[in-house]
Amino acid sequence: MLGDRVPVGSEGVGRRGVGEERPRPAEQGRALDAIQDGTLYKEYVKAANGFACPNNPSTDMSLTCPDPLGSVQLIGLDRPKGGQLYLYDSYDAQVLNYAPNVPQPRYTLAWADQPQDVTSINPDVPADQVLQVFQRQLKFKNPPDDTVVTWCSYHRGGDQSGSKGKDMVLFLDGHVDKIPANVFQPNGRPWNYAYTVKPLP
């Protein structure tokens, strides 16, 4: 969501994998203040702390992590290879207690490449809803109101592994639902499962 990324050498990750690198200082020592002027929609985002959850343990504005989607072939639209994300920015990627070396994606324009991918991402999606789920992606010109924009898992508590606690999920219509983590990101499901989950009724 930030308008600027720090290009560094490519970090190899698999199609469904995520980076295995520890957070490290930003290249060239660039602090978040330096990119504050580069954020999109400055009329809405007044300050860089709008990108930080109060529960985000990373308060150092200079720390980055490898973009977990930076080398994922499926996601070519908005994720340059080898990109870095600011850890202070909670809503592009998060690093949870149970997996301190594995940043998890929280925002992308594209979660699925083709409609047939939906069933492999979430086998519980009924056949007659596959297209509807596929269209819930920001890569499309007019995605529906129930499209997932981003979500925050820093409120889960404990080791944040998802066995308990809730994720705060922001949908495109602007509302936020507190969805049980084991519903939104069940253990054993692929990294892009969450986008298939619907708002609470």
- Determine, following the binding rule CB under 5 A, whether residue 184 of this chain makes contact with Zn ion: no
- Determine, following the binding rule CB under 5 A, whether residue 63 of this chain makes contact with Zn ion: no
Closest to Zn ion by CB, 107 or 154 = 154
How do 176-180 and 93-94 pair as beta strands?
unpaired
Going residue by residue from 14 to 53, which x/- string records binding to Zn ion, judged by CB under 5 A? ---------------------------------------x
Shortest distance (Å) from residue 160 CB to Zn ion: 11
- Determine, following the binding rule CB under 5 A, whether residue 65 of this chain makes contact with Zn ion: no
- Determine, following the binding rule CB under 5 A, whether residue 75 of this chain makes contact with Zn ion: no
Closest to Zn ion by CB, 13 or 169 = 169
Query: For residue 100, what are its two tokens?
Result: 């301190």
Closest to Zn ion by CB, 91 or 134 = 91
> CB-side exposure of 103: number of CA atoms within 13 Å?
32
- Determine, following the binding rule CB under 5 A, whether residue 169 of this chain makes contact with Zn ion: no
Integer-rounded Cα radius of gyration of the chain: 16
Measure the CA–CA gap between 25 and 43, rounded to whole angstroms: 29
Window contacting Zn ion (CB under 5 A); options: 58-66, 105-113, 115-123, 146-154: 146-154
Query: For residue 112, what are its two tokens?
Result: 């699925």
Shortest distance (Å) from residue 88 CB to Zn ion: 13
Closest to Zn ion by CB, 94 or 192 = 94
- Determine, following the binding rule CB under 5 A, whether residue 152 of this chain makes contact with Zn ion: yes
- Of 156, 161, 155, 112, nearest to 132 by C-alpha is 112
Shortest distance (Å) from residue 103 CB to Zn ion: 16
Shortest distance (Å) from residue 181 CB to Zn ion: 12
With CB under 5 A as the contact rule, the residue among 111, 154, 171, 195 that binds Zn ion is: 154
For residue 70, how far is the Cα from the chain centroid?
Answer: 12
- Provide the binding-site residues for Zn ion, judged by CB under 5 A: 53, 152, 154
